[in-house]
Amino acid sequence: MKTLNKSEKIIVGLSGGVDSSVATLMLLEQGYNVEALFMKNWDEDDSEGYCTAEQDLADAQKVADKLGVKLHTKNFSSDYWEDVFEDFLQEHKKGRTPNPDVLCNQKIKFKVFLEYALSLGADKIATGHYARISHSDNQYQLKTGLDNNKDQSYFLYLLGQYQLSKSLFPLGDISKTKVREIANQHDLITADKKDSTGICFIGERNFSEFLQTYLPKKSGDIVDENGQFIKHHQGLAFYTIGQRKGLEIGGGFSDSPEPWFVADKRIDSNELLVVQGDHPLLYHNSLSTSKNHWVGDEPDFPLDCQAKIRYRQASQNCTIIKNGGTFKVIFNDPQRAVTPGQSIVFYQDDICLGGAIIEQRSNE
């Protein structure tokens, strides 16, 4: 294990939440020279009622004042729009379902924030992510957080050796419960603050309504597996594979009382295919990928490992086969709701190897 220099200057991404607050506290207790930075990455319309950045900044400032650390502020909204949100919109226009949190980490937190922190004299940055970094055989490894319920390595798979060499994750070895306990023990204002959810930096919204602000409606047919018309949809961009809520398909369309789920988005015909219950059309045993990224050196193939096709999914045994510049992932067990545009992340035990974007799914 590489020895850490405790005289290093660390700038923590202080969001105004409990995780980054406790991360700041822990680094101070470990003897680091700590400062903090509050980054604003989305320009809210206050009239919409979603403006949380002002309150988050106020909370971050109170935590910084209590802990005696300097708080910098920086607006990265233009970077977020160009590097994350435009990609997010383009993917939805194609009928795919992107994961902006993954790209946000790569492009914002561990790029522009890292670069800005270094310009302020930092040696490293730190965040409140539940993940770990280790160093052996001249390689940095991204490892899962010890709290399985909060592990966030899935969202960090696009980090590389340089980013890991310049980052610290103080919360990787403790549980969320412990984080709240520490915050309460030190009377931090964020101790009982609700965790943020929703799109990275944009927050909790009615997702379909939010997308319709930026994407045009393109109505089409919702059909069952036999091609039978059920109702109209407002646009494939506003649905995702495996979705149940929001379909508003009531009785009268089937003799079965089972709920309906999105099984496919047929881009060419602009049809949304829905099925009932735990239907076979929801399952696939293989997928192809694009934009593969490895945290360290690219492994040898074929590779037997584990993978997650969504956050908090239990690790699934699989084999990765490389064919030229493309990869095929074959699962031991069929996977439900494999979703093009989402990330698949690869593991060997507690080590995150990297990941890729899901392109197509099949049963071949």
Q: What is the rounded CA–CA span in Å between residue 111 and residue 26?
A: 23
CB 60 within 8 A of CB 15: yes
Catalytic residue of the set 200, 305, 318, 352: 200
Is 352 among the catalytic positions? no
Contact 302, 319 (CB under 8 A): yes
What does the CA dihedral 189, 191, 194, 198 come to, rounded to 10 degrees?
Answer: 90
Sheet (strand 220-223) strand order: 229-233, 220-223, 271-276, 260-266
d(CA 200, CA 14): 15
Which of the following is catalytic: 104, 305, 318, 352?
A: 104
For residue 363, the one-letter residue type is N
Closest CA to 8 of 29, 47, 34, 40: 34
Could you give the CA distance from residue 145 to residue 157 in angstroms, rounded to a whole number?
13
Report DSSP letters for 162-217, one per residue.
HHHHTEE-TTTTS-HHHHHHHHHHTT-TTTTPPPP-SBTTTBS--HHHHHHTTS--
Active site residue 200: yes
* Triad 195, 198, 203: Cα angle to 5°: 80
Q: What's the burial of 191, exposed, middle or buried (CB within 10 Å: 0-12/13-18/19+)?
A: middle
- Specify the DSSP element, H or E, that contains 139: strand 139-144
Nearest CA to 77 out of 46, 53, 93 is that of: 53
Helix, strand, or coil (residue 79):
helix
Please list the active-site residues: 104, 200
